[in-house]
Structures are given as structure tokens and as C-alpha cells.
Amino acid sequence: MADKFDVIVIGAGPGGYVAAIRAAQLGLKTACVEKWIGKEGKVVHGGTCLNVGCIPSKALLEASHKFVEAKHDFDDMGITAGDVSMDVKKMMARKDTIVKNLTGGIAGLFKANGVTALEGTGKVLSKNQVEVTDQDGKAATYEADNIVVAAGSVPVDIPPTPLTDDLIVDSTGALEFQETPKRLGVIGAGVIGLELGSVWNRLGSEVTVLEALDDFLPMVDSAIAKETQKLLKKQGLDIKLGARVTGSEIKGTEVVVKYADGKGEQEITFDRLIVCVGRKPYTKGVIGDGVGVELDERGFIHVDDQCRTSVPGVYAIGDCVRGPMLAHKASEEGIMVADIIAGHKAEMNYDAIPSVIYTFPEVAWVGMTEQDAKAAGIEVKTGAFPFAASGRAMANNATEGQAKVIADAETDRILGMHIVGQHAGEMIAQGVIAMEFGSSAEDLALSCYAHPTMSEAVHEAALAVEGHAIHMANRKKRK
């Protein structure tokens, strides 16, 4: 038997490494198990988020957006850029450097906080034992008073489009293209599909997005989703809704995809195809037989509101449990669980978890949509303000989109906020904080916002809830 710990965390993604650091900060002897092998053949931390998810995709999104700005938008500002080109390989190398720096940074944080890093594949053997198997197959068993499973998730694959080494790839493979494909297909118009489609569309690909659902971004407020779809179509993304993929065939260096829509059977040819139809929990083999931790038919671990599993002392967080698969949700669950293990009171407000799509403009939301409220029988009042009426947005050449506030018609309490516009991902924090403190739309309306800022759109949207917006004509004036 190897060392004994107060806490062992399985997985060093944004949920696991945060849980481990927090536990160590609270004086608990903590270890964190990770098996992810980086490009240099060594174990690296950060999970999907840092290695093949949030961070590398944002590096490509930012680079491709700046390319579009330099190529098409600088002239309006009086900037002559000349011939602008993109070196895809150099862009990818920069992305890899960012990933390397951040994953290496976690190793430094572990050392600074006294977290023991265990390299290998973790498996829960009992409520107090974790087996760690290294790359060479050598296994060691560790004891712990508490175990936190933060094993994350993996991309979902579908039978009609089996992955290949180069032509049909998942989101991970799409982050490694070394040249811009002429014709790019994307299966799935969710967050990942729209972001990756945007990257390669900006760099010159003819991008077609095939989405099986009839509705575009059904989790987003319908007004915001409608405007987002219009803006992405204007940028060149061909988004086909109600298009169910039925098969694919490799013909030389091309991929022929078959799909069915309202017009019947269709066929389309691509140079590359990205499959982005969601993610599934990575729990297979993580929980040993007979441990007693309950999983559902999809592989999610059953937990309560404080991430306790059916076995005392065993917790699970992040993508392998219920709720949205978001890095920040996992991180906050990690902090909550570490606090609980240390004997502190802790909880999470699952109604105030923000989501962001990092297209341009960005799409961000928190809380209820109008559709949600209607389904729940809640009467709401709303206010919206377009960035076209924002002075800062005009100066930024970013007048597309709007901010929308949804409030309870009776209490005025903010139930949701939805934004499509430049820096929407930054601005949505206002909605999160407002909801955490139970703020009303009037609270935001009475707050003083710096001028000129993009955030003033949120202020005006809050004012518009009662028909008091200053910088636009109110549809309905109220006393």
C-alpha cells in the first residue's frame, strides 16, 4: 500500500485541479491523478479545457478574427494594411505554445500548494482506495479519506461518420489542421461546431453546418438565437437546420456526406468534415465493480446538489455529472466539494451558471429564457437594447447584436440575461452577479455605468424593462 491522503482527486482538468488546489489550501493532504499525455509524450494537466478545448480554440478564434479585421475592417478606420495573409502553421504553433505554458503552470501551482501529482489512470477501488496505473502498466494503490472523481468527458461519435486520421475528425482533430480546407463540413450547430466553423470560415473555407434539430440554439433566448443565426449567415456560414446525417463515404481525398431534410435525401461533398454532436462523460473504467457508486444509462455519475455520490466520502464533479459541460461549472463544483470535505458550509447556485459561444459577435447567456419562463408559468417583462445605438460599439466597429434583460413581472427580480455582441462573454458576468444577489432590473437601471462602454447596453436594457431606456425609443412607455 502506498501513501495515504485526506483527498485524492481523479482528473486534473478545470474541475479536478481546482478541487485539488483548494483542498490543499484548506490544509488537507491532497493528491491529483492525471493520465493525459501531451505532444511531448509526458503527462500534462489541464484536461480537455487547456489541451484540446477552451484555450486552444480561443487562440484560433482570436487569431482568425484579427485576420478578418486586418483584411476587411481596418480600411474603414483609415488603416492601410496591404496584402494580408494567414500562416496556418504559425497560428497553430502559437496555439501550442499557449497550451504548453498553461498546462505547465498547473504543475507549478500544484508544487506551490503542496498537491502531490500522481501520473497514470485512476480507478476507484472502494470508498477509501484509488488504484493508479502508469504508462508502463504498473499499478499502485493509494488510500484516501475522501475521493473526488473529475474524469471529464470525451466527444460523441456517430455511426454514419466514423472518424479517420485526417478527413473526418472530431473537435480535437479540427484544432490540428495545418492548412485551410476549401470545403468544410461541420456536423452540429452547437457551441463547438459554431466556434470551429467560424475559425475556418474566417480563414477562407466554404463552411456548411448540418444540424439535425429544426431550431437554432434552442437553449438561447429565441430573439438572441434568431439574430445570431442571421449574423453568422451574413458571415458566410451555411447553416442547414433539420438536416439529419445518414451516412458518409471517403472518395479519394474527399468526404461525401448523405443527409435527410425536409426536401428528402441530400448529398454534399467536403474536403474535411468535423463531427461536433456533443460530448459524453468519461466514466468507463473509472469506478471499480462493487464500489456502489451509481451511474445512469448514459454513464453520468449520480450526485446530489453538493456533488455527493451514493457512497459516503466519494464525490463527483464536472462533465461526468449532471448539468452543463462547462469548465467554470466544474471549477466551482471543485471548490464547493473541497470546502465541504474540509468541514465548511458550501453550495452552488446552478441557476446562475453563464454560457458563452465565442463566435464574433459572441453569444452569452445566464438564467431563464422567455421560453423557459413561459413553460414554467412565470409572467415576465423584458428590456432589450441594440448595440447599433451604443457609442462605444460604433467606435469599436461592433454594432451588431443586442443585450436583453428578463425580469419577473411581479417582483422585478432578474431571471435571465442574454447578449449577442462584442465582449458578450465579459458582460454576462453582470447578469451572474445580479442573479446571485437577487437583484431587480431596477437595481441595474439605478446603477452608474462608465461611459462610453459596451456594458452600457446592459444598463439601457435594464432601463427598457420599464420603458425608460434613454438612448432609444421605448416600445412601451411606463410611468
Beta-carbon contacts of 252 under 8 Å, excluding residues fewer than 6 positions away, are: none
107 Ramachandran zone, left/alpha/beta (phi>0; psi -120 to 50): alpha
Q: Which residue has the cell 483584411?
A: 71
Residue 316 identity (one-letter amino acid): A
Rounded Cα gap, residues 387 and 367, in angstroms? 21
* Cell digits of residue 121: 489512470
- Residue 314 C-alpha cell reads as 466519494
Cell numbers placing 24 = 490543499
| Residue from 73, 102, 62, 71 nearest 362 by CA | 62
Q: Which residue has the cell 500534462?
A: 44
CA geometry: angle 93, 94, 96, nearest 5 deg: 65
Helix (H) or strand (E) holding 110, with range, is helix 88-113
Distance CA 80, CA 103 (A): 38
Please check whether residue 122 is in contact with residue 144, taking contact to mean a CB–CB distance below 8 angstroms. Answer: no
The angle subtended at Cα 72 by Cα 67 and Cα 75, nearest 5°, is 115
Closest CA to 283 of 264, 302, 308, 257: 302
Sorted by sequence, the CB contacts under 8 Å of residue 270 that are 6+ apart come out as 181, 183, 184, 185, 208, 254, 255, 257
* Catalytic pick among 423, 451, 459, 468: 451
- How many other C-beta atoms can be found within 10 angstroms of the C-beta atom of residue 18? 27
Cα–Cα distance list, 227 to 222, 223, 386 (Å): 9, 6, 11
- CA nearest to 446, candidates 426, 466, 420, 471: 466
Please provide residue 182's backbone torsions phi and psi, each rounded to the nearest 5 degrees.
-70, -45
Q: What is the DSSP letter of 72?
A: I
Annotated catalytic residue 459: no
Please state, in angstroms and rounded to a whole number, the distance separating the CA atoms of residues 217 and 325: 16
Separation in Å, CA 415 to CA 378, 395, 437: 10, 31, 12
**Strand (E) or helix (H) holding 364:** strand 362-367
Q: Nine-digit cell at 126?
A: 472502494
What's the rounded Cα separation, in Å, for the pair 204 and 437? 45
**Catalytic center residues:** 451
